Amino acid sequence: MREVVRDNPQATLPELALAWSERMGRNAPSAVTMRAALKAAGLQRTRPKQQLARAKPQQPRTRYGYNALHRPSNASGIAGVLTDAEWALAQDLFEPEPGSRGRPATYSRRSVVEACCYVLRTGSSWRNLPTQIYPPWQSVQKAFVRWARQGKFEALHERLRQQWRQRVDRAEQPSEAIIDSQSNRGSPQGGTLGFDAGKKVQGRKRHLVVDTLGLLLAVVV
């Protein structure tokens, strides 16, 4: 029995029984008999020691989440302020075409656009717009409604998204997209409401589509 185990150190119990049968020219014993024979011979089955895998050097992962690069510093420290590079992309969308008719603008288009971005960024109401920094809220709100209907903010977002993808060495147009949805509770004063039978939520459901960098592609409420 010792010779059989020595010649087959990694064999299972049925394999040891078969090897013993071939060597002795007899029928293979049962598993119970084999265990008793091994115990009588002083043989004990042990598991081989596992070799510890060498730790691979960890390489820094590429992060595409929201970080300090998404928060351009400005002297005022006010939310919504556009950088010169961002305004260069948006200027032709909001500035009137050369030679266009009409009364000259009382306030600069850049200050009005930044005021709109301030309200969108902070969630503030129009009446709480800082008048010492931005134009009157009535003028900003009227401009926002007019530009929103014309799709100027969607065009601005598209340009800024392409600019950011170029910064991280990606193609301007994404090849993959990720979709997700969320049901939010609403109040009767908020307009038409629906009922999500799956999550038992009465309100509205918003669907978002983003690229692999988390940049918004489309939203439907």
- Dist. CA 161–CA 172, nearest whole Å: 8
- pLDDT at residue 66 in the model: 57
What pLDDT score does 150 carry? 92
Q: Where are the alpha helices (DSSP H) in the chain?
A: 2-7, 13-24, 31-40, 84-94, 109-122, 137-150, 152-167
178 touches 211 (CB < 8 A): yes
pLDDT < 70 positions in the chain: 47-57, 61-77, 188-190
Structure letter (DSSP) for residue 30: P
Q: Residue 53 contacts by C-beta under 8 Å, 6 or more apart in sequence?
A: none
Give yes or no for a contact between 14 and 31, defined as CB atoms under 8 angstroms apart.
yes
Q: What is the per-residue pLDDT across 57-110, written as a single tens digit (0 to 9) for each?
A: 677 766 655 566 655 555 566 777 888 888 888 888 888 877 777 777 888 999
Can you give the pLDDT at residue 149?
A: 93
CA–CA dist 172, 43 (Å, integer)? 69
pLDDT computed for residue 221 by the predictor = 77
